[in-house]
Amino acid sequence: MKKGLEVLQDKTLYKSIAFTRAERERLGLRGLLPYRVDSQRRLVERVMASLRRLPTDIDRYMSLSALQERNERLFYRTVIDHIEEILPLIYTPTVGEACRQFSHIAREPKGLFITPADRGRVKSLLGNWHERDIRIIVVTDGERILGLGDLGANGMGIPIGKLALYTACAGIPPRHCLPVTLDVGTNNEELLGDSLYLGYPRRRIKGRAYFGLVDEFVGAVQAKYPRALIQFEDFLTPNAYALLRRYRHRVLCFNDDIQGTAAVVLSGVYASEKLTGTTLADSRIMFLGAGSAATGIADLMVAALVERGVAREEARRKLWFVDKKGLVVSGRKDLMGHNLPYAHDHERLSFMEAIEALKPNVLIGATGMPGTFTKAAIERMSVLNERPVVFALSNPTSRAECTAEQAYAWSGGKAIFASGSPFGETAYKGKVFRPGQGNNAYVFPGVGLGALACRARVISDGMFLAAARALADMVGDDDLRRGSLYPPLQEIRKISLAIATRVAETAYAGSLARRRRPLNVKKDIRDFMYDP
């Protein structure tokens, strides 16, 4: 048993002045701490007071990172108790700036970096990690970090942030979590010219060399951590789809940008039905942006419609895409494979022409380009629809297609607005709106928790459909009156438990679970959840 300074230096054991008198005697801590004994609740108050005194969000990010390194329990207690205030600091939008500066502000290492120089040795490299029972791995190659592009090894901030949310939002014990960056180089000239850049200082490897390294990594994980779920995060669209197709039916994995985002947005559309009176089956949905996030949303919507008895081709005809070259139509020769199912027979149109011709009632932005939902577009959506539904999903906040204030003002208060990054309360003509944030944190922690609890073999579309419906079911009338399509973030652990229960039940029903179904699935999952 550790004693004295060993206890104080172990972030998983350290409790600061919350150690009781008896614990101090038993662990040899007497004299190593100030006299006062305080509660964890009071320590959280101290942390929050300190954070609020700091001048910028990146300073707050750094302070929380340091807290995570020295006092893990207090860090997670603080995040859980103040999730609405802390989430934007440890994840989007602040994590975007943290990734930009990662090589300049990096502190204690929190994950594994795998480079082309490690080829042939990835399995032994995994053995260098201090924990042996890994259940969740979030991995990125840093090529498409949020809406910021290629940040190379600096993208490690994303897996670190996502895994903090797995613990805070869904109770995955921190010891079971491993952040990984496949540092395969970067094509970012600024980073390559930065003498402080911490990553592999070469241009990105491609093709066979790239996929060979990913294959070695996935195989090493299965050999070393056979119970682990792999979450792919912030890969460039072609690679994201290629890797998902490569592994989804034989490895416990999913891509959060494709599948997690899809479930969150589908849930928001389900919730909007209560305000618009228009069901998903009766909707016409237009996407601005045709990358992995947008197409992933469409694919899950098609699965939802098929589940409701709509023919697959008819379902796809309800979904239309516009990219930087205009409406995605069958006559175009510049489309990628994931776009082809949605390339319908139609004349080529601009974004505004497409709104006029197709008359969508739901507009979804996943462009990474700010200001692309123009005043004219929102105004026209509001003429065509009594309650237009507008999702401005691009992260961080600075990349959103429009702001909440713009959506409400340009629509005359008619828009039902949701975003990927947080917007605060917005007043329009005496009415206060509190727009919902379509944050993946609502879904991926619960999906991961459910998959681990039942020891799922793979993650199916049915599990994400179950997650979307579970989340929509938790949106109350008060939420809708405030203009929010999502429940309060303060309820995130209850939300994750509800989603995990539905996911596990879906896995049990579909014979996708390695465990025998317990008598009480919800209690079984609740008992697993980490409480700091």
Q: What is the DSSP string of 135-169?
A: -EEEEE-SSSBTTTB--GGGGGHHHHHHHHHHHHH
Q: In the chain, what percentage of residues exceed pLDDT 70? A: 100
pTM of the predicted model as reported, rounded to 2 decimal places: 0.94
Alpha helices in 388-515 (DSSP H): 404-410, 444-454, 461-473, 477-481, 492-509
CATH number at residue 199: 3.40.50.10380
Structural domain includes residue 524: no
The residue out of 224, 251, 278 marking a domain boundary is: 251
Find the mean pLDDT for residues 482-501. 96
Q: What is the pLDDT of residue 157?
A: 95
Q: What is the pLDDT of residue 421?
A: 83
Q: What is the pLDDT of residue 234?
A: 96
Structural domain includes residue 483: no
Question: Quick one: 144 and 205 in the same domain?
Answer: yes
pLDDT digits (tens, 9 = 90+) for 47-105: 999 999 999 999 999 999 999 999 999 999 999 999 999 999 999 889 999 999 999 99
Q: Which structural domain range is residue 35 located in?
A: 5-70
Catalytic hit among 15, 110, 162, 318? 162
Local confidence band at 44 (pLDDT 50, 70, 90 cut-offs): very high
Structural domain includes residue 49: yes
CATH number at residue 370: 3.40.50.720
Question: Quick one: 23 and 150 in the same domain?
Answer: no
Alpha helices in 326-387 (DSSP H): 351-358, 375-384
Question: Quick one: 243 and 367 in the same domain?
Answer: no
The residue out of 386, 420, 441 marking a domain boundary is: 441
Question: Quick one: 106 and 58 in the same domain?
Answer: no
Structural domain includes residue 189: yes
For residues 119 and 216, the answer to whether their CB atoms sit within 8 Å is yes
Question: Quick one: 352 and 209 in the same domain?
Answer: no
Question: Quick one: 280 and 224 in the same domain?
Answer: no
Partnered with residue 287 across adjacent β-strands are 321, 364
Whether 333 is catalytic is: no
Question: Quick one: 293 and 219 in the same domain?
Answer: no
Structural domain includes residue 510: no
pLDDT digits (tens, 9 = 90+) for 93-132: 899 999 999 999 977 778 999 999 999 999 999 999 999 9
Q: What is the pLDDT of residue 75?
A: 98
Start-to-end C-alpha separation, the chain: 20
Round the average pLDDT of the chain to a whole number and report it. Answer: 96
Alpha helices in 82-224 (DSSP H): 83-90, 94-100, 102-105, 122-126, 157-170, 189-192, 207-224
The residue out of 204, 224, 251 marking a domain boundary is: 251
| Closest C-alpha among 134, 448, 490, 416 to residue 260 | 448
pLDDT digits (tens, 9 = 90+) for 401-451: 999 999 999 999 999 999 998 898 999 998 999 999 999 999 999 999 999
Whether 91 is catalytic is: yes
pLDDT digits (tens, 9 = 90+) for 370-415: 999 999 999 999 999 999 999 999 988 889 999 999 999 999 999 9
pLDDT digits (tens, 9 = 90+) for 230-269: 999 999 999 999 999 999 999 999 999 999 999 999 999 9
CATH number at residue 28: 1.20.1370.30
Into how many domains does the chain fold? 3
Structural domain includes residue 274: yes
Question: Quick one: 54 and 119 in the same domain?
Answer: no
Question: Quick one: 199 and 234 in the same domain?
Answer: yes
Report the amino acid identity of residue 184. V
Question: Quick one: 202 and 279 in the same domain?
Answer: no
Token readout for 31 is 């004299």
Q: What is the pLDDT of residue 147?
A: 81
Find the mean pLDDT for residues 16-36. 95
Find the mean pLDDT for residues 194-203. 97
Pairing of strands 136-140, 177-182: parallel
| Closest C-alpha among 443, 447, 502 to residue 229 | 447
Question: Quick one: 146 and 218 in the same domain?
Answer: yes
Catalytic hit among 76, 91, 197, 241? 91
Question: Quick one: 66 and 200 in the same domain?
Answer: no
